[in-house]
């Protein structure tokens, strides 16, 4: 059997399914985040949260805290752990909650409570209960790329992260710094700035990438 679908099957699929996810980049330090569960998946979620947003305020509630989880949490003063079962008032004051326990019924229960309170929710084992999905993240200094497969294959998202991470030069952040400085120094009205920045990026990006190509061919 072929791994790839026929054109007819593809057309049928696009009729019934669509990718409606709207991507945003959250300033997580402006939220109050609750993480329930501190096992394998809890650790993955905490890693994603603190790697991207080390100043985020995160309350963790879990009956059992793994040693690796505790070790990571200890490095971030804004991560506060309660080692006990979830209780309703854990949701007080929360704006975002990530559920990563091994208890599906508990997730359903917290989902109902969170809905009543308008809390944004991510539920690790149940895409249907999620308001938001976490993505795979490529980070090069100020550049951040979020990858989603619409929940179809987190593993592919992870692989794409590796490909982009290896493929994008670290120097891309220098280009960003240069452009930021130019953007600050430009005088004139909005349309002049837009025109100027578009002209400059056409050559600046090409030139920097050429340099990088040159450097990498020297290494070879
Ligand atoms: C819907 C979503 C909701 C959410 O959790 O946000 C979701 C759901 C589920 N994941 C499951 C399994 C796995 N998840 C991973 C890995 C990641 N999962 C992440 C996101 C998401 N996972 C959201 C969709 C993202 C999208 O749109 O693509 C990443 C990208 C971000 C992150 O978690 O930080 C992170 C990679 C980070 C990186 O490395 O870059 C691996 C691979 C691995 O660990 O090697 C496996 C095992 C292999 C497999 O199953 O594919 C299961 C089945 C559980 C079971 O069977 O018990 C469910 C539930 C279901 O699908 O029903
Ligand atoms: N979205 C994703 O990326 C993935 C999701 N999963 C799903 O995630 C779930 C969790 O898997 P693991 O982390 O491996 O389990 P685990 O057994 O390592 O951890 C479970 C955690 O939940 C806590 N917990 C259980 N009941 C609780 C309660 N009443 N109150 C507070 N905390 C409670 C435990 O104390 C523990 O910290 C599974 O359902 C699995 O199917 C699995 C792989 C990837």
Give me the pLDDT at residue 123, please. Answer: 98
Give me the pLDDT at residue 188, please. Answer: 87
Q: CA-CA distance, 87 to 94, in Å (whole number)?
A: 13
Give me the pLDDT at residue 216, please. Answer: 47
H or E segment to which residue 13 belongs = helix 7-16
Q: Is the CB of 46 under 6 A from ligand 1?
A: no
- Classify strands 79-83 and 143-147 as parallel, antiparallel or unpaired: unpaired
Q: CA-CA distance, 138 to 13, in Å (whole number)?
A: 29
Class of domain 28-134: alpha beta
- Ligand 2 atom nearest the C-alpha of 41 is 13
Q: Is the CB of 38 under 6 A from ligand 2?
A: yes
Q: Distance between the two ends of the chain, CA-based, in angstroms?
A: 41
Residue 135, classed as helix, strand or coil, is coil
Give me the pLDDT at residue 208, please. Answer: 59
Q: CA-CA distance, 149 to 50, in Å (whole number)?
A: 22
Q: Is the CB of 107 under 6 A from ligand 1?
A: no
Task: Tell how far CA 172 is from the center of its chain.
Answer: 20
Is the pTM above the cut of 0.95? Answer: no
The ligand minimizing its distance to the Cα of 62 is: 2
Give me the pLDDT at residue 6, please. Answer: 64
Q: For a pocket test of ligand 2, which of 100, 127, 152 has the largest count of ligand atoms closer than 8 A to its C-beta?
A: 100
Q: Is the CB of 151 under 6 A from ligand 1?
A: yes
Interface ipTM: 0.96
Which residues sit opposite 62 in a β-bridge?
83
Give me the pLDDT at residue 215, please. Answer: 54
Give me the pLDDT at residue 170, please. Answer: 86
Most distant CA atoms of the chain, gap in Å: 61
Question: pLDDT 10s digit of each residue in the chain, 220 long?
Answer: 345 556 666 665 655 579 999 999 999 999 999 999 999 999 999 999 999 999 999 999 999 999 999 999 999 999 999 999 999 999 999 999 999 999 999 999 999 999 999 999 999 999 999 999 999 999 999 999 999 999 999 999 999 999 999 999 888 899 899 889 989 999 989 998 999 899 988 876 666 566 656 554 443 3
Q: Is the CB of 102 under 6 A from ligand 2?
A: yes
Q: Is the CB of 123 under 6 A from ligand 2?
A: no
Q: Is the CB of 68 under 6 A from ligand 2?
A: no
Token readout for 11 is 């057309």
- Classify strands 143-147 and 136-140 as parallel, antiparallel or unpaired: antiparallel
């Amino acid at each position: 059997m072929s791994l790839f679908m026929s054109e007819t099957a593809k057309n049928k699929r696009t009729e019934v399914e669509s990718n409606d996810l709207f991507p945003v980049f959250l300033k997580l330090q402006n939220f109050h985040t609750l993480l329930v569960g501190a096992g394998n998946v809890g650790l993955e979620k905490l890693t994603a949260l603190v790697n991207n947003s080390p100043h985020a305020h995160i309350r963790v509630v879990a009956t059992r805290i793994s040693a690796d989880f505790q070790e990571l949490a200890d490095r971030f003063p804004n991560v506060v752990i309660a080692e006990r079962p979830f209780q309703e008032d854990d949701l007080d004051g929360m704006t975002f909650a990530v559920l990563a326990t091994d208890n599906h019924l508990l997730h359903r229960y917290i989902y109902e409570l969170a809905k009543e309170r308008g809390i944004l929710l991510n539920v690790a084992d149940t895409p249907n209960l999620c308001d938001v999905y976490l993505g795979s993240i490529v980070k090069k200094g100020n550049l951040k790329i979020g990858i989603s497969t619409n929940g179809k294959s987190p593993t592919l998202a992870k692989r794409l992260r590796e490909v982009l991470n290896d493929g994008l030069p670290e120097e891309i952040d220098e280009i960003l710094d240069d452009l930021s400085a130019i953007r600050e120094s430009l005088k004139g009205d909005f349309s002049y700035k837009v025109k100027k920045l578009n002209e400059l990026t056409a050559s600046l990006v090409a030139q920097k990438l050429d340099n990088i190509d040159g450097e990498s061919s020297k290494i070879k």
